[in-house]
Amino acid sequence: MSSTRILQAGSVSAALAVAALGLPWWSTAVTAVPLDDIVDWHATTLLGVRLVGGVPSLVLVALAVCAALAVRLPAPLHAAAVAAAGGASVAAGAGVLAQQGALLPGPWLTTAAGSAAVLTSLTGSRRFVAAVAAALPVPLVLHLLATGPQPRAEGPFVRLAPLTSEGTLESGAVALAGPAGAALAVPVAGTVGYAGPGGIATVGPDGRVELRAAADGGFPDRDPYPITGIVAPGPSPLGTVVSWTGPDTLTVRGVDRDASVHVTGVDLATRPGTDGSVWLRTTDDGPGPDVMRRLDPQALLESAPRAATVPATDLPRPATSPGLDDADPFALLPVPGGLLALGGVEGEWRLRHYGPEAPVDLPACVVSGGRLAADHDGVWFTQGRADGNRLMHLAADGTLTTVPDRLPGRVESLTVATDGTLGLLVGPVGDGPGLWTLDRPLDHLVASPCAA
């Protein structure tokens, strides 16, 4: 076969590699279940053009077109064009394969056809030099244009995915969608997840979003968040979701099963706590203390008839609870035996425990408001300092410690996954908005005297 025919075959291979962008390149085994009655269809497979990104895809197409038109140019220039097109396809396909080990046909075909194109351009010494010179810079260009996941770490904190206020929460995306003030870090399927107006999601090992439960985003405009949290584990493998579905209505629902209970007459609700409960204020309650109610979502879901409606005033009232002025839903957390409240109490910053007896102030050296999470080892909370926000830990024996590294931004919510990983949803203040984790958090603690 003549060298001209070999280069023509290389041009065809380059075109075939680009055509494979129209095939599936990414998929997830997770199928989102609906959280409400009207939910858009959500893809579990992405084509190559979507995965690689619009601009890099246009670059690949342009290079393939140049390789096809270069048949009339001198052989070294034709070889350079074919090598550039083939090298770009190899870089795009191999990058995806290395990142996620995909078994789908798209990236394999693009990589194989691109490799064939490069090989056809290497016949002859002059062609070899031109082909190498043309192909080497292409992967760097594609890397600079890449729209794939961009991992990031700040000290011991690792960002699973960035957070953007625009777009739709969907599988395959490289960012979580939804304003930070309307979203939470939550425990999902044994790991750290995200709950926002678009539903509930986790982030896969490849850095792409996996939508677990989808919502149409039409929740009432509630402050501070439409989904108050997830109780896990529960009767459903993904847990039990508590969310606002009306101006004064909370709905408790098992994510993986068609069962729900509506609680009406609700004015304010906390996140689900470590004991699985939600504390709330009813629309009939006054602003004073000791009037909050306690909801056990899992018990209610298992005992009440399907689609039942329960007035919030029918729920039991704990012995003590904060008054309305001291009840910031962001900084309230039910725990076994009571409720933790972090914030301003009677003009001072305190971490207070409301239990069966009189409220007790814990020795936390609180100097500002913050966010709360808890596990069997103690309480986690954020605190502001002159040199940056810090993560604090108060053990059951009263020992106060801290993670010495500054937090990656303003933390909107904290959670602890079942494997002990700490999850942080960082808001738009600063340059690190997104879902972050701290693995093995107890290993990072150091002694913390009361210091501002």
Task: Dump pLDDT digits (tens) for 267-291.
Answer: 888 888 888 899 999 988 877 888 8
Average pLDDT of the segment spanning 14-29: 79
Closest CA to 312 of 276, 290, 283: 283
Confidence (pLDDT) at 35: 66
217: left (phi over 0), alpha (psi -120 to 50) or beta: left
Query: Is the pLDDT at 438 greater than 90, yes or no?
Result: yes
Task: Dump pLDDT digits (tens) for 366-404.
Answer: 777 788 998 888 899 888 765 568 899 999 888 899 999
Query: Is the pLDDT at 334 greater than 60, yes or no?
Result: yes
Query: Residues of the chain with pLDDT > 70: what percent?
Result: 78
Q: Chain-centre distance of CA 410, in angstroms?
A: 16
Lowest-confidence pick of 270-279, 350-359, 386-395, 418-427: 386-395
Q: How confident is the model at residue 39 (pLDDT cuts 50, 70, 90)?
A: very low
Confidence (pLDDT) at 160: 92
26/47 Cα distance (integer angstroms): 7
Q: How confident is the model at residue 132 (pLDDT cuts 50, 70, 90)?
A: very low
With b for 16 or more beta-carbon neighbours within 10 A and e for fewer, the 210-231 pattern comes to bbbbbbebebeebebbbbbbbb
| 433 vs 256, residue with greater confidence | 433
CB atoms within 10 A of CB 82: 38
Secondary structure percentages of the chain, helix, strand, coil, to 5: 30, 30, 40
Task: Dump pLDDT digits (tens) for 214-264.
Answer: 776 555 555 556 777 777 665 555 678 888 888 888 888 876 666 788 899
Q: Return the amino acid letter for 254.
A: G
Residues in a beta bridge with 211: 201
Task: Dump pLDDT digits (tens) for 301-323.
Answer: 888 777 688 899 999 999 998 88
Confidence (pLDDT) at 134: 47
DSSP 324: G
Please give the radius of gyration of the chain, using alpha carbons only, rounded to the nearest integer: 27
Q: How far is CA 145 from CA 52, 148, 390, in A?
A: 9, 9, 35
Task: Dump pLDDT digits (tens) for 71-104.
Answer: 777 877 887 888 888 878 877 777 776 665 555 7
Q: Where are the domains of the chain?
A: 3-32+47-145
Average pLDDT of the segment spanning 169-194: 83
Place of tokens 């075959």: 9
- Mean pLDDT, the chain, rounded, equals 78
Query: Residues of the chain with pLDDT > 90: what percent?
Result: 15
Whether the CB-CB separation of 126 and 134 falls below 8 Å is answered with: no
| 265 vs 198, residue with greater confidence | 265
Q: How confident is the model at residue 131 (pLDDT cuts 50, 70, 90)?
A: very low
Tokens of 284: 């009939």
Answering whether pTM is above 0.75, one says yes
415: left (phi over 0), alpha (psi -120 to 50) or beta: beta
Q: How confident is the model at residue 30 (pLDDT cuts 50, 70, 90)?
A: low
Confidence (pLDDT) at 62: 83
Q: How far is CA 342 from CA 9, 180, 273, in A?
A: 69, 20, 14
| 213 vs 431, residue with greater confidence | 213
Q: Which residues are CB-contacts of 62 (< 8 A; sequence separation ≥ 6)?
A: none
Whether the CB-CB separation of 340 and 270 falls below 8 Å is answered with: no
